[in-house]
Amino acid sequence: MSNNGMVATSQPLAAQAGLHMLLQGGNAVDAAIATAAALNVVEPMSTGIGGDAFALVYLAEERRLRALNASGRAPYALNLNYFTEKDLKEIPLKGMLPVTVPGTVDGWSTLLEEHGTMSLSQVLEPAIVYAEDGYPVTEIISQQWEDCVPLLEAHPASAETYLIDGRAPWPGEVFRQPDLARILRLIAEKGRGVFYEGEIAEAIVRFSEENGGLLSLRDFEEHTSTWVEPICTDYRGFKVYECPPNGQGLAALLALNIVEGFDLTSMRHGSSQHLHLLIEAMKLGFADAFEYVADPEFADIPLKGLISKEYAETQRVRVDSKRAAAEVEAGIPPDVGDTVYLSVVDENRNAVSFINSLFQGFGSGMVVEGTGICLQNRGALFSLDHGHRNRLEPHKRPYHTIIPAMVFSDDQLFLSFGVMGGMMQPQGHLQVLVNVLDFDMDAQASLDAPRFRCISGRKVRVERGIEEPVRTKLRQMGHDIKTSEATLEFGGGQIIMIHPENNTLLAGSDPRKDGCAVGY
């Protein structure tokens, strides 16, 4: 709780980096970039300058909300014919083929130039210090790192950069990243140009060529972030905003629209009926997202119709209140997501809801030698179906899982929040929002509550906190319920709430991660 500014994210050291910017007089944008850069260092399997970013930015004085799409595009040289000629039926999850142009650095630079008050060198300094001096690896991060050892072992530069004598760092062990520190300092001194037009771009392209990739200098030189119009729905009098496609925030809005037609407060929170309705609504939301979400520069997406209340009514009648639907017509993209999310609100109530990601743990598994840069594998989410909106095309952005969100009440910012975790993200948004807006939970309680995760068809995983009698009833309703002990598969959320009466900041940080919310 705080009267001034607040930062919430998945790593305490990263939260401190953002708080330091606020204490130095910086605004929410300055703090968000400092936090994101620090996360690049202290949570390297989840995020980095080899990945992408999306942001919602609220400018309090102007009462204006903006959305930034800082996701990268496919190489010009990569198209469907490439896979046909090589008789490849799907895009590999690892290696250079799923690597798209990293959008993070341009996103940071764009945000700072337009809405920040500090320089790139100022906001990157905490991350550089952590990389140079080292930092103690936290317990959950050590566990995630250990899961990625086989991937890192497969590539010499990856193993040399991110393993210690062939193993992941132990909890509490100090880990240093001198190569990444040098690269971050180079960006701090020379700006985004060195990443997209200078020696860093040249190093990545050279590495790509040596390892079977198709990235070119042209791909980097022509990369830009894009300011886009946020998409919105009204849920019980609250306006819920997400970034538009190519992000999957649409899925969360579609599910909310369906759920709005049910009286959830007449049900016990966590009851079989409550969870059944959310699960079925989420399945319908995903079905449409997998069909329609794509790069809007390449495909027509009927957003107005999809988000309309009329369409929600037609979808709602498809929900059987007593029985789980067997299948919905949609493919299920890869579902192992490693991402970081952060939220910042400053003393003037400017706010940033920001998400940064490599997609899967250590992304493509490819670390550019001598740089510490791990390249993302977002291209794995393209479709190879020639008739699909999200089909692979040169210089196109793929379906994206990462989605920041904000909620307004009576045109006043009420929530800045997000939930990391691949396909869990819109499901997390739905569950957290219902917890707050329907069941009146506070920020922390909304994140603490046990979650479900739709897999495909009737398959649903649930946390052990969902009571056994409820699990039994859901099975009787036709759901294929599996209880999972892997808390990270249910995402990790951060939330900052602005009290509508006294303007106080109240925050929560997900216990499934190592993070915290800090304020002053």
500 close to 414: Cβ distance less than 8 angstroms: yes
| CA dist., res. 344 & res. 75, Å (int) | 33
14 close to 106: Cβ distance less than 8 angstroms: no
- Residue 12 burial by Cβ neighbours in a 10 Å radius (0-12, 13-18, 19+): middle
User: What secondary structure letter does DSSP report for 167?
Assistant: B
Measuring CA to CA, how many Å separate 23 from each of 6, 69, 117, 196, 329?
Answer: 10, 28, 13, 32, 50
| CA dist., res. 307 & res. 250, Å (int) | 8
163, 168, 174, 176: CA torsion to nearest 10 = 30
Residue 517 pairs with which residues in a beta bridge?
Answer: 8
Token output for 460:
């649903």
| CA dist., res. 158 & res. 152, Å (int) | 5
* Radius of gyration in angstroms for the set of CA atoms belonging to the chain, rounded to a whole number: 21
Catalytic residue among 35, 104, 339, 371: 339
Neighbours of 487 (CB within 10 A): 18
Token output for 386:
């020639």
For β-strands 238-242 and 231-235, DSSP reports them as antiparallel
Which residue in 235, 232, 208 sits closest to 220, CA to CA? 208
- Asked about 339 being catalytic, the answer comes back as yes
Measuring CA to CA, how many Å separate 115 from each of 112, 189, 349?
Answer: 5, 20, 14
| CA dist., res. 210 & res. 372, Å (int) | 17
- SS3 label, residue 203: helix
The catalytic residues are 339
